[in-house]
A and B are shown apart, each in its own frame.
Chain A
């Protein structure tokens, strides 16, 4: 008999026992939904990490000093061992091939004031290159320029969080705020970037020319400096990284490579990615176990169903159903259950992923391959766990089956 005929028979016998069919399906539904949701959450986490890493800028290299690794092997106070100078930045920019931009970064803190409002936050002293490295733009007003840095003007751009807390509804552009009582003109407000990989608010900061920060805000005792470099391409990063290290060593005689820490955004991304991958695998394997349990549920019910339907099988065989017909009927029943369960599970998983995404404000990504994977998997489960009961049914002795009570 044709395969379509058997499919019809199988589907008919499923619809004849709707409750049993649904209960069997439930295991697969939950399993598939769990896999889809978990993979979506894992993918979402990965995407967030990627976005955050990208928000740091493109092809960024960070150069810092390793404080604890002094040549005498004596741990020194932070900052006192800082070897980097502004001249190093210029050297990196001019002498290392493949470097697009380089900027010093001086970090400081200060109390900001605008009229009655107060806000305490970090102040970054940077070169105008910094905006290109970090891919920063303003949502209103303007960035400051190289000329501002050269002349050490008291200007700054502020992050969105600072603008909200200090100005409220007032437009901050061209207003004067006081940072540690020193007046700075706000040139612009930066486009919001959200949280970074470490979870801190990237919009809660003020950026000013490093010359101004250096002379006005930093005392001579605290000049901890970092250099931010952007390479011209992803491929160039590794060479540039090494070249910077070599250059710094040649500029500072008697230093070892351990004293400089040249890190790339890719390394950071790799670490974050491996964490989120581990998370995804963990979640997916838990979900996979529930899918497996669902499959065993199918086998269980199919076995019970074979016993319950021994007589039916006997009747079918007596009127001309062959072994193959019975085998196929039961396998198709199992596969149909798991595919239908799989489809419902996918829809449910989609829904669950959406809800999780909305409540946690994550961009949840249901990837096509997770759908293909779970459908394929549930079909395989249907065939795998349907085979044993089906062959049991097909190999029943006709007479025994007919006389079975």
Chain B
């Protein structure tokens, strides 16, 4: 029996734009266990991004409950949410969101700067370890503009895992990458999943979603399907079949 990681109940989100009320989410019930690799799919406007923002505590729900790691997140204040974001969630964004003019290592250290726990030395070690996990330890002193897209996304993943969060939230992580690099990044995610990380992936590409174990589809602010992926693709295998490209260096 796997441990329940998070659950939402009748989660809604309504944006008020002047006179018009936009119902982005119309009651979402979902529960996710630890160690799952989930892909959330849906066309634009389906509410998947809104749902992701709520899961990631980047935004607050209008109504409904959200329990994360046995904490009632929906009732929390802004500053408490800040702490949740820092300690429990790792983010990977479509356009990487690395700080410019800041080395890969410093970017990875960023989440640790905002928590009290680690010493300078510890921070450095953990950041180096995270870079090692995603396989770009040798690029630690490079600036983002000196790295390829795939490398930048790996730095972002390293940043997401450095604080050892309870789950990783990836918003279209391959949206800005070519096919091969996309699969490479998915390989990184699958490797992390094998190590026991919970991963929630938001994407509109079925190809990419097929690397996940469970597929959830959104439409018009509701979940319309939630099924187990019978045979997920293995990114490491797919890479072997693809012709080698002479990028990344």
Residues of A with Cβ closer than 8 Å to B? 1-2, 5, 8-9, 12, 16-17, 311-312, 314-325, 398-399, 402
Known contacts A312-B99, A315-B97; is A320 also within 8 Å of B114 by CB? yes
Residues of B with Cβ closer than 8 Å to A? 53, 56, 58-59, 78-79, 82-83, 85-87, 91, 93, 97-102, 106, 110-111, 113-116, 159, 163
Q: Which residues of B contact A2 (CB under 8 A)?
A: 116
B58 & A319 in contact (Cβ 8 Å cutoff): no
A399's contact among B59, B79, B115, B116, by CB below 8 Å, is which? B59
B97's contact among A16, A318, A323, A325, by CB below 8 Å, is which? A318
B82 & A16 in contact (Cβ 8 Å cutoff): no
- Whole-angstrom CA separation of A1 from B85 in the bound complex: 14
- Whole-angstrom CA separation of A398 from B98 in the bound complex: 16
B110 & A316 in contact (Cβ 8 Å cutoff): yes
Known contacts A2-B116, A315-B99; is A320 also within 8 Å of B79 by CB? no
Q: What are the 8 tightest A-B residue pairs by CB atom distance, in nearest-first order?
A: A320-B86, A320-B114, A319-B111, A322-B82, A16-B101, A315-B97, A321-B114, A1-B114
B79 & A323 in contact (Cβ 8 Å cutoff): yes
- Whole-angstrom CA separation of A319 from B102 in the bound complex: 16
B113 & A9 in contact (Cβ 8 Å cutoff): yes
- Whole-angstrom CA separation of A17 from B100 in the bound complex: 11
Query: Closest Cβ of chain B: how far from A405's Cβ, in Å?
Result: 9
B59 & A320 in contact (Cβ 8 Å cutoff): no
- Whole-angstrom CA separation of A312 from B110 in the bound complex: 11
A398 & B59 in contact (Cβ 8 Å cutoff): yes
A317 & B116 in contact (Cβ 8 Å cutoff): no
Query: Closest Cβ of chain A: how far from B76's Cβ, in Å?
Result: 13
B97 & A5 in contact (Cβ 8 Å cutoff): no
12 further A-B pairs in the complex, CB-CB below 8 A; given A315-B99, A320-B83, A321-B114: A5-B114, A317-B85, A318-B85, A319-B85, A319-B91, A319-B111, A320-B86, A320-B114, A325-B114, A398-B58, A399-B58, A402-B97
A319 & B116 in contact (Cβ 8 Å cutoff): no
A318 & B113 in contact (Cβ 8 Å cutoff): no
Q: Which residues of A contact B79 (CB under 8 A)?
A: 322-324
Query: Closest Cβ of chain B: how far from A247's Cβ, in Å?
Result: 83
A318 & B91 in contact (Cβ 8 Å cutoff): yes
Residue of A nearest to B84 (CB): A320
A399 & B113 in contact (Cβ 8 Å cutoff): no
Listed A/B pairs (22) with beta-carbon separation below 8 Å: A1-B114, A1-B115, A12-B106, A311-B97, A312-B100, A315-B97, A315-B110, A317-B85, A318-B58, A318-B85, A318-B91, A318-B97, A319-B86, A319-B111, A319-B114, A319-B159, A320-B114, A321-B114, A322-B82, A398-B58, A398-B59, A402-B93
Q: Which residues of B contact A317 (CB under 8 A)?
A: 82, 85
